[in-house]
A and B are shown apart, each in its own frame.
Chain A
């Protein structure tokens, strides 16, 4: 079986720096004074808040409901009081904000009623819903909702379940320690995932620089049938989902296709662990293991409640004085945190303190000499230098033709580039720009369609009106011809219409004026109510609204302009 290992092309071998943070066992991070839980913590949409300021919540209580089936639920990481549901900066390279639930813990850690489920007796559909409602997402960093990955749909059946314990990024050790210490739980979680997918076999891929984790996982899977722990050669990015699937099964999954189409699916060991907690203990995903390492005095791994401010964590490990920035994720794919008062999310696998000594700044960017080092390093077998030219020239069509979307942004190309070109930045720019263009195109196509339909409808209405009028006129003429006195004035339709229009307009204007009058009277009558016991920011908001109303009144007093 072991001989059936495949290789992926490319890859690099940076120094692994794993030992620093594996000396101590996983410790529990203390409960902070405030938890900030972003509602959007998985791909596929922002859950709607289920709580309001002032509300008491229990640990594990649902505070965010998945929108549709495409995201996973969000839960209170501890018991306490909701202070606010408001927009806060996210730990994201953009530094943008999104709705978050701010909770003041009460320190009691009171759980909701936890109901363990015997997974073997449940249908895969019920278990998938349970995973969704327990907030289980991929903990390797991509945070894709797990229940969606387990849905084979029309695509096919998941014959082989791949479990990713490769952890190829330097410095990060959260999966390593999880496997060393909690192999039993991981294996139970794997059994659940396997049951849902009804997979025949399970391959657990672990990079061969983690002998203790491999031993622990082997011991835990000794009794299981069809489960195999496979050490894979240590070479970044062996833990990339597509690369690991390739190494273990030889299957290559291109961009835009999903594992089940090829009979495989891949889960992180942390995801398996939290699936076990969710199903067999009834505990939704409210914490994760985070590696705190790099330029710090006491590196280690911590079990951290989601929403813990990163500042609180850094206090535990004491960053050294020459630390110049903090990276969320590893040195190859992580991003520099815009600030450190941001919360830990389900995607936070590592906080890496960087210093100029540890991560020396690269030299100035030189021209590309097409040396081909990037091509040899690219695990997606792309031509990075060509993609670079196209992205730089904003020639997006060509970039797409050269499969830029197959780029996994692993950073190997920029790591080996002798010209110090920030290649991945160019790809990220091109990809996000192309997605934006695609959105614009969809929107403008929709607008064109709606505009054309509207024109069609207007024409049809006019035609129908004209036909009705013509019919009416014809009837009137007939009546006259028949010698009867018509009820209405016997003017032809055309002349009947024209003088009536301004008259209609006048009545309409009068009506509108009356309505404006009513609205104004109503507005002026309205006084802010329920203003006692409100937070100062609420009061400020009310003042702002009042000011806006006053402005509108001013405008409404001047006679309305003629509608064009």
Chain B
């Protein structure tokens, strides 16, 4: 009886020590949660989530102050990834924050631009070049399609155009197998 107790206690002590050692020895310096969330967000910096940029939204999610379904550019897939990361339930994109759209870029109608610089101030990623009273243009590869430059433009010369598919960016479709549910007669 006593020896059994002693053996059990001994095993507990040894295992406890091992576990304790392992937790120190193999400690994983994990990415802070905010960075992990930020890595999932599309970095459009559009502010549709109600926060001034993706990072602030990521911080809000990490603190539990924001829902995971407030990012329209990230779309359903983004929400799924966030749900996976945080172990939360998937929810559809919240309608008040916008709708998912195909990727777009802003294009300035250069003939109409009056060079007011309002759009350059609005652009969160410095993708618009041009000086005061000079025509502006958008560096398309840098544009995230956030639409923040559209409302400030006094002459409405900025349009959002979908990014066209090219031979280089074209993707094979997911193979869909036509499974006939009914037997051919």
Contacts and interface: CB of A to CB of B under 8 A. Distances in A.
- The answer to whether A and B assemble together is yes
Interface of A: 40, 90, 92-94, 96, 98, 364-365, 422, 425-426, 428-429, 431-433, 436, 439-440, 443-448, 450-455, 512, 515-516, 518-519, 523, 548-549, 552, 555-556, 560-561, 563-564
A454 B175 contact: no
26 contacts: A92-B167, A94-B170, A96-B165, A96-B166, A98-B167, A365-B177, A425-B172, A429-B173, A431-B172, A433-B172, A443-B43, A444-B144, A448-B43, A448-B54, A448-B55, A450-B142, A451-B124, A451-B125, A454-B124, A454-B125, A516-B154, A555-B155, A555-B156, A556-B156, A563-B151, A564-B151
A511 to B, nearest CB: 8
B172 A428 contact: yes
Nearest to A447: B43
B86 interface: no
Interface in B149-166: 151-152, 154-157, 165-166
A561 B141 CA distance: 29
Give the secondary structure class of A's interface.
helix
B175 A422 contact: yes
A422 B124 CA distance: 44
Contact of B171 (A436, A519, A549): A436
Nearest to B178: A364
Given A447-B144, A515-B116, A516-B114, A452 B170 contact: no
Contacts of B177: 364-365, 422
Contact of B166 (A98, A443, A518, A561): A98
Contacts of A448: 38, 43, 54-55
Interface string B31-47: 00000001001111100
Nearest to B157: A552
- The CB with the most chain A CB atoms within 10 A, among B109, B141, B171, B180, is that of B171
B170 A40 contact: no
Interface of B: 38, 41-45, 53-55, 109, 112, 114-116, 118, 124-127, 133, 141-142, 144, 151-152, 154-157, 165-167, 169-175, 177, 179-180
B116 A564 contact: no
Contacts of B43: 443-445, 447-448, 451
Nearest to A560: B154
- The CB with the most chain B CB atoms within 10 A, among A93, A94, A451, A455, is that of A451
Contacts of B142: 446-447, 450
A515 B114 contact: yes
A450 B127 CA distance: 9
Contacts, number: 111
A312 B116 CA distance: 55
B126 to A, nearest CB: 5
Given A446-B142, A451-B124, A451-B125, A433 B44 contact: no
Given A96-B166, A429-B173, A439-B169, A447 B45 contact: yes
Given A451-B43, A451-B45, A90 B151 contact: no
A452 B45 CA distance: 10
Contact of B54 (A429, A436, A451, A549): A451
A452 B155 contact: no
B155 A40 contact: no
B112 A519 contact: yes
Contacts of A452: 55
Given A444-B43, A447-B44, A450-B127, A523 B112 contact: yes
Contacts of B41: 444
A85 to B, nearest CB: 17
B175 A429 contact: yes
Contacts of B171: 429, 432-433, 436
Contact of A451 (B53, B109, B116, B152): B53
A519 B114 contact: yes
Contacts of B114: 512, 515-516, 518-519
A512 B116 contact: yes
A561 B43 CA distance: 28
A422 B114 CA distance: 55
A525 to B, nearest CB: 13
Contacts of A436: 169, 171
A38 to B, nearest CB: 10
Nearest to A551: B156
A202 B175 CA distance: 42
Nearest to B141: A443
B172 A40 contact: no
B100 to A, nearest CB: 14
Nearest to A430: B172
Contacts of B126: 450, 453-454
The 4 closest A-B pairs by CB, nearest first: A444-B43, A447-B43, A450-B125, A428-B172
Given A428-B172, A447-B142, A451-B124, A512 B154 contact: yes
Given A93-B172, A451-B125, A552-B157, 17 more contacts: A90-B167, A98-B166, A365-B177, A422-B175, A429-B172, A429-B175, A436-B169, A444-B42, A447-B45, A447-B142, A448-B43, A452-B55, A454-B124, A454-B125, A519-B114, A523-B112, A560-B154
Contacts of A439: 169
B175 A552 contact: no
B132 to A, nearest CB: 10
A414 to B, nearest CB: 11
Nearest to B45: A451
Contacts of B44: 447
A519 B173 CA distance: 46
B167 A94 contact: yes
A510 B147 CA distance: 25
B156 A96 contact: no
Contacts of B180: 364
Given A448-B38, A564-B152, A552 B125 contact: no
Contacts of A431: 172
A272 B37 CA distance: 53
A453 B166 CA distance: 31
